Amino acid sequence: MLLKVHPENPSPRQIQQIVSCLQAGGIIIYPTDTVYGLGCDIFHQEAIARICRIKQIPIEKAQFSFVCHDLSHLSDYARQIDNPLFRLLKNSLPGPYTFILPASKQVPKMLKTKKDTVGIRVPDNLIARTIVKELGHPILSTSLTDTYVEYYTNPEWIHEKFKKIVDIVVDGGPGGIELSTVIDCTDEIPRLIRQGKGLWQDWVSAE
């Protein structure tokens, strides 16, 4: 299903339709502030396995992130967040960043990396954040593609390609072409893992 949602005024009825799909174990393709992403409920193991099959990667090698509505529930899924780090996250989010943080016990075991970490995203996209807010907990997310492919920026083209293997393609307008910037915050000094849309210099200067 292709579902067109207004990017600045998403319909509550449409958001609830998406949330119901996620709660039932469905998979969505949805807009973020970077590229379109694949998402599902973090507590549905079969949905997670489906995403791994779509991406053609084994789950133990998958690099997923948790898309959150805001930082209010950060301590539920990440631990060892001191005040300086929290201030940096608060100054940078919502935004095109993925922060690697120590995972809490509430992160499902199958989603933890060998290093016991979790990636946290709060995208600057109202549709994505509203979906998560209404769901009541984060959605598991991964980028639809790791390289620039023109038709992955067009929701109608995306739907044509993926309509048989996902449940809903959320059309929130044209997608971006840059991935998020990934920053590892598991050590005392943050470390840049991947340069993407978010500027590393801006993030550091936010302190």
Q: What is the CATH number of the domain that holds 17?
A: 3.90.870.10
Cα 96–chain centre separation = 10
Amino acid at 120: I
Give me the mean pLDDT over the 29-55 stretch: 94
Q: What's the domain count of the chain?
A: 1
Q: Report the alpha-carbon distance of residue 32 to residue 24 in Å, rounded.
A: 22
What is the share, in percent, of the chain residues with pLDDT greater than 70?
91
Q: Which pLDDT belongs to residue 200?
A: 74
User: Please, what is the angle between helix 12-23 and helix 126-135, to 10°?
Assistant: 60
Question: Quick check: 145 and 161 in contact, CB under 8 A?
Answer: no
Q: What is the pLDDT of residue 207?
A: 47
pLDDT 10s digits, 67-117: 999 988 777 888 878 888 888 899 999 999 999 998 888 777 667 555 688
Least confident of 37-46, 56-65, 114-123: 56-65
pTM of the complete model? 0.91
What is the mean predicted confidence (pLDDT) over 149-162?
Answer: 88
**Local structure of 92: helix, strand or coil:** helix
Show the tokens assigned to 84: 């300086």
Give the structural domain span for 132. Answer: 2-205
**Regarding beta strands 168-171 and 28-30, do their DSSP bridges make them parallel or antiparallel, or are they unpaired?**
parallel
CB-CB contact of 160 with 144 (8 Å): no
pLDDT band at 149 (very low <50, low <70, confident <90, very high): low
pLDDT band at 148 (very low <50, low <70, confident <90, very high): low
Residue 22: exposed, middle, or buried by beta-carbon count in 10 A (0-12, 13-18, 19+)?
A: buried
> Which of 147, 159, 171, 128 has the alpha carbon at shortest distance from 55?
147
Q: Provide mean pLDDT across the span 13-38.
A: 97
**Rounded average pLDDT over 154-174:** 95
Element containing residue 49 per DSSP (H, E): helix 45-55
Q: Which range is least confidently modeled, 108-112, 141-145, 172-176, 195-199?
A: 108-112
**Mean pLDDT across 113-141:** 91
Indicate whether 49 pLDDT > 80.
Answer: yes
Kindly state the tokens that stand for 189: 């000094």
